[in-house]
């Protein structure tokens, strides 16, 4: 009987931890809201498509994150998290299509180990708030081919408004 009580206690504690950790992240449509390192307030969404990794055995959906840093002047950032690294070391050209508009190129910074592509500035977030879809395309390397991530932006306006409130700034 005591084994049953102890098992029940462990299950109850695990349930409280799971619910408590889940409460730290809210949802706004498809967006998952949370807090990052150094006070970042974030909203993240996974791509609707999958990328095939190296040997083709595994696939994953890249994650787009919008973030605001509340300390001092709020700083808006967007980044794309990948499982495979790009071969560029500092900058990469990202092809961007918002809704059904024309494709244009932007320069994004390459993060640690080449698995994060970053673009700072409120203008990028501002153009996404009223949009429904975002298509990002980039080269993994000279001979490695292209990556493409398609995002459903439903709920982004609400997510950005919540982020802006936490950052004590106006939404873009």
Each residue of 86-95: pLDDT tens digit?
A: 888 899 999 9
Query: Which pLDDT band holds residue 78 (cuts at 50, 70, 90)?
Result: very high
Please give the pLDDT value at position 158. Answer: 95
Give me the domains of the chain, ranges plus CATH numbers. Answer: 27-167 (2.60.40.1880)
Question: Which of these, 162, 152, 149, lies nearest to 81 by C-alpha position?
Answer: 149
Q: How far is CA 20 from CA 24, 30, 136, 158, 166, in A?
A: 7, 21, 34, 23, 20
Question: Which of these, 120, 129, 18, lies nearest to 78 by C-alpha position?
Answer: 120
Lowest mean pLDDT among 29-33, 39-43, 117-121, 124-128: 29-33
Could you tell me which residues come within 8 angstroms of residue 146 by beta carbon, excluding any fewer than 6 positions away?
137, 138, 139, 140
């Amino acid at each position: 009987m005591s084994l049953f009580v102890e098992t029940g206690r462990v299950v109850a504690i695990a349930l409280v931890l799971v619910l408590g950790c889940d409460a730290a992240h809210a949802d706004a449509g498809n967006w998952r809201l949370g807090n990052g390192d150094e006070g970042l307030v974030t909203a993240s969404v996974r791509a609707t498509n999958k990328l095939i990794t190296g040997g083709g055995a595994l696939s994953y959906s890249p994650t787009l994150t919008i973030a605001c840093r509340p300390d001092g002047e709020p700083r808006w950032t967007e980044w794309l998290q990948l499982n495979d690294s790009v071969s560029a070391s500092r900058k990469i050209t990202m092809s961007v299509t918002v809704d059904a508009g024309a494709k244009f190129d932007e320069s994004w910074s390459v993060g640690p180990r080449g698995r994060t592509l970053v673009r700072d500035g409120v203008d990028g977030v501002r153009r996404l708030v009223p949009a429904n879809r975002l298509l990002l395309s980039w080269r993994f390397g000279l001979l490695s081919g292209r990556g493409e991530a398609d995002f459903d932006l439903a709920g982004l306006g609400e997510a950005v408004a919540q982020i802006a409130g936490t950052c004590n700034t106006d939404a873009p």
